[in-house]
Structure 1
Amino acid sequence: MMNRVMILVIDGCAPEYITPEFAPNIHRLAEQFGFSKTVKAVVPTVTNVNHASILSGKFPSETGMAGNYYYNPVTGEEGFIEEKGFMKAKTLLQACRKRGLKTAFLTVKGKLLGVYGHAADTGISVQTPDAPLLQKLGIPAPPGVSSLESSRWIVEAALAVIKKEDPALVYCTTNDFGFHHFGPEAPEAQLQIRQIDEAVAAIHEADPERQIYITADHGMNQKHHLLDFQQLADEAGLHIYCLAPLKDRYKENHVYQEGGILYLFLKKPEENEALQELIHSRPEIEAVMTNKEAAERMHLPLQGIGDYVIFTAPDCAFGELGGTTALVTDASRTHGSLYEQEVPLLAIHPAAPAEAYQYSKDIAAVLFKLLV
């Protein structure tokens, strides 16, 4: 039987952020009652995809979630993924509800509540706050979504929910606004981690036997070279559609929707050779895979990832640059590539030994076995 659980996903938290220096309580508790290690996020390293996997224990090939944005090449329909219906795998929230266990889903970004939180008994979002619910739980009104305070607020809200509702499963996720703007060496990022650390210590004190897993949906890295591949292809006369899996409404996090992966939909098969030549001519592009290769190697669903998947080199990202093909900048911290797969996992009273967890999704994979 599954014991009481909290899964805390610190959005965009590369391992370099959550060090013993800035998260002393979490590291102390993990050392005393569990473990700390580095695991992998799934590809692409973007929000929707990894929450799907962390909630289900499955790779994207089974969740059907390939990005924050979708494109239908048959109808031309496209849009942000912000509501239920895209997720194909059963989540821990659904499994707990089926067994009569109380659950809570807390998030800064409203879209996650729409996509995954419908099965939760209690749902709280900074972006779309439920004022009567917050009043009932004694939680103050939230700060703005795009603020350094929002992450502390949502973890402290989780503490209030645990004290008043005692859910069997609490799933809580922050916002990566701070890490998009500040590296691990910045006081702002260090303060955010300290605040989360203090809140986790308070949660453990309030419920000492609760399993607590602290991980991230993806890492975060500085990118200096941005490439607009859609603009490049258009100028070359190629008929393709570039889908950026990272693309979402939170442009304050990535002004150019910049990320390290693109799905390429080839509208005219006879242009395949010219497309290959263009891809291989750009040093910003490190790897290219057919959809079948990407599905096999990266555990991606075949549907929705185009004909080719391309990945950037470490210091590069694809972006929407507004009419130019390339840009050099010091102002981009982002994710999406193969270089943001490394994420932390700190566990307090884990359900299995450290070696059972190789991916962040393995948190749910282990817990599902206890729900059978």
Structure 2
Amino acid sequence: MSPRSFSANGRDYAASPDPVVVICIDGSEPDYHVEAMRAGRMPWLSSVLGDRLSSWPAHCAMPALTNPNNVSIATGRAPRFHGISGNYIYDVATGTEVLMNDKRFLRIPTLFAAANEAGLDVAVVTAKNKLRRLLGAGLVEDGPYPDGTAGRAPARRGICFSAEKADEATEAENGLGDVLEYVGLPLPSVYSQDLSEFVLAAGVRLLERRRPDLMYLSLTDYIQHKHAPGSEPANAFYAMVDGYAAALDALGAVVVITADHGMSPKSHPDGTPRVIFVEEETEQILAGVDTPIEGLRVILPITDPYTVHHGALGSFASVHLPDGADRDRVAAGLRALDGVAEVLDRAAAAERYELPADRIGDLVVLAEKTTALGRFAAWHDLGQLDAPLRSHGALGERDIPFFVNRALPAPDLVPGGSALVHNYDAFWVATTWLAQHRSEAAVTAATR
């Protein structure tokens, strides 16, 4: 392996002569790009598509949520490897419900840490602060990881900060201080398009001034939760993204644009949320066979500190059953509900969707595209929702965009499926697959 190439979690990443920038547009179903281009709002993407830009059908990891997919992109692997099965889990050992937003939940290092170890300059900018400690492990912070690298300090200082807490970033903790002055923008509101724009502006400024070898820019889905593809707010958002992507391209970067998950409407015609309250339904099934319900716990892994986006209503749920409960009977009862797409036991869900079996429930419930899953009505503060519910989590939100500003053949990394790549192939495509194609092109040219 050449200097500045590196390996991470069983994948080799080739050295790139150009900076590599991966943009993750949170909640970006493919129709957003289609509609924005149709409206003439993404001139850069439209001008390079088919000429020097490749686009392939792609899937996100399951569940179709922010934390699992951002960490999948950051590690190059599915959740069964890195262990982040949602934003939120039930810790059976402690009997507590916890946010998985801390590095201690990671089971493998990030590719950012491996690149940093190899001597590359790495920068990570996220919109929401909940991702910062996960993505910064081994880059600006120590492990721990259970593979023997626990406690090892970063080989060099990378950069990792969030737009949400940009005013609190320091050289010691984030690799860069005075971020607001550096970027030249005020601190954005967490519930705004400005949060994503700050991330992209920071990326352009970092590329202009520092030119990192690898850069990851993770946006927020505030717009996508509120506005459908083709709406004016959505088109304006994608026009903004297009402008910054054009600037990164003009600075010579290999640019990949993908998403952590899609987004779907989940409301009745009158605008009220279309919800199945899984914990209530499970209680009724258990009560019908005189089974105790003590110990029943439904976990909605979409749950995070930003409930104004979605009211903690997604389309993926984990059901932890009481001791002695008839799992098959509960599964059959839930499967019969209108709006439920699939109910799997722990082993089947872990195998089919590459999930860590010890961090999901006895049963996993996936809703249909137009339906959301809740716990019980009183648990959700739906008064926070100021628009008809649009949310994500299951198969209806698995399709995502995947663009790279280089003309490349499609790598079939998902044999037999409707997708050719996953979002977590982004850095591999931008380095190894691109290097391989360049080598093949050079050999072909030399033999002419």
Give the structure 2 partner of residue 192 of structure 1. Answer: 237
Residue 39, structure 1, aligned to residue 82, structure 2: no
Which digits, 9 at most, give the CA deviation of each residue in 1:257-302, with x for residues without a partner?
A: 1111111111223343542343134112121111111111111111
Letter aligned with residue 411 of structure 2: E
Matches of 1:156 and 1:71 in 2, distance apart? 37
Using the alignment, how far apart are the partners of 1:309 and 1:321 within structure 2? 17
Using a 3 Å threshold, how does the CA distance of structure 1 residues 305 and 135 change in structure 2: closer, same or farther? closer
Corresponding residue of 2:281:
232
2:24 alignment counterpart:
9
Offset at 1:165?
Answer: 1.1
- Cα distance in 1 for partners of 2:159, 2:82 equals 23
| Equivalent pair of 1:83/1:115 in contact (CA under 8 Å) | yes
> Counterparts in 2 of 1:1-372, with a 5 A limit?
1-3=15-17, 4-19=19-34, 20=37, 21-118=40-137, 119=139, 121-130=158-167, 132-135=177-180, 137-205=182-250, 207-208=251-252, 210-224=253-267, 225-236=274-285, 237=287, 238-239=293-294, 240-255=296-311, 257-323=312-378, 331-349=388-406, 353-356=409-412, 357-366=420-429, 369=432
Distance in 2, matches of 1:140 and 1:219, equals: 28
RMSD: 2.3
Cα distance in 1 between the residues matched to 2:283 and 2:228:
35
Q: Classify 1:133/1:353 alpha carbon distance in 2 versus 1 (closer, same or farther; 3 Å).
A: farther
Other structure's SS at 1:269 match? coil
TM-score (norm 1): 0.91
Separation in 2 of the partners of 1:367 and 1:185? 29
Decide whether the 8 Å contact of 1:59 with 1:300 is kept in 2. Answer: yes
Matched to 1:268, the amino acid is: D
Contact (CA 8 Å) 2:256, 2:430: kept in 1 or not?
A: no
Closer, same or farther: CA 29–87 of 1 in aligned 2, 3 Å: farther
Deviations 1:316-367 (A, max 9, x none): 1102453399x9x9811000011100000110137x6323452111123446
Shift of 1:186: 1.4
Number of residue pairs aligned between Structure 1 and Structure 2? 365
Query: Identity over the aligned pairs, expressed in percent?
Result: 25
Deviation at 1:26, TM superposition (A): 2.2
Native 8 Å contact 1:213 1:346 kept in 2: yes
Which has the higher mean CA deviation after the structures are superposed, 77-86 or 28-37? 28-37
Deviates more, 1:133-142 or 1:192-201: 133-142
Please, which moves more after superposition, 223-232 or 264-273? 264-273
Question: Could you tell me how far apart the structure 1 residues matched to 2:105 and 2:301 are?
Answer: 14
Deviation per residue, 1:223-272 (Å, 9 max, x gap): 122111113334554342111111111111112x1111111111223343
Counterpart position of 2:444: none
Query: Shift of the alpha carbon at 1:80?
Result: 1.1
Q: C-alpha separation between the residues in 1 aligned to 2:248 and 2:257?
A: 12
Larger RCO of the pair (alpha carbons < 8 Å, separation 6+): 1
Pick closer, same or farther for the CA change 1:219–1:51 going to 2, 3 Å: same
Query: Where does the alignment leave 5 or more consecutive residues of structure 2 unmatched?
Result: 1-14, 141-157, 169-176, 268-273, 288-292, 413-419, 436-448
CA contact (8 A) 1:134 1:141 kept: no
TM-score by length of 2: 0.76
Alpha-carbon deviations, 1:177-221, whole Å to 9, x = none?
Answer: 11100001211111000011011111212x22x210000000000
The verdict on how the C-alpha distance between 1:298 and 1:339 changes in structure 2, with shifts beyond 3 A counting, is same
Are 2:183 and 2:202, in contact at CA under 8 Å, matched by a contact in 1? no
Residues 94 and 324 (structure 1 numbering): CA distance in 2 closer, same or farther, change over 3 Å?
A: closer
The AA in structure 2 aligned to 1:160 is R
- CA gap 1:302/1:293 in 2 versus in 1, 3 angstroms: same
Secondary structure in 2 matching 1:289: strand
1:90 deviates by 2.6
Structure 1 residue identity aligned to 2:410: A
Secondary structure, aligned partner of 2:51: helix
| Structure 1: unaligned runs, 5 residues or longer | none
1:136 Cα deviation after fit: 5.6
Query: Residues 298 and 375 of structure 2 are in contact (CA less than 8 Å); yes or no, is this contact kept in structure 1?
Result: no
Q: Which moved more, 1:236-245 or 1:181-190?
A: 236-245
SS at structure 2 position matched to 1:213 = strand
Distance 2:31 2:198 in 1: 22
SS in 2 for 1:7: strand
Provide the residue aligned with 2:174 in structure 1.
none
The amino acid that maps onto 2:63 is P
CA contact (8 A) 2:125 2:161 kept: yes
> Contact 1:60/1:300 (CA < 8 Å) preserved in 2?
yes
One-letter amino acid matched to 2:256? Y
- Counterparts of 2:23 and 2:313, CA distance in 1: 26
Q: Deviations over 1:15-37 (max 9, x none)?
A: 01113233221232343323122
CA contact (8 A) 1:259 1:319 kept: yes
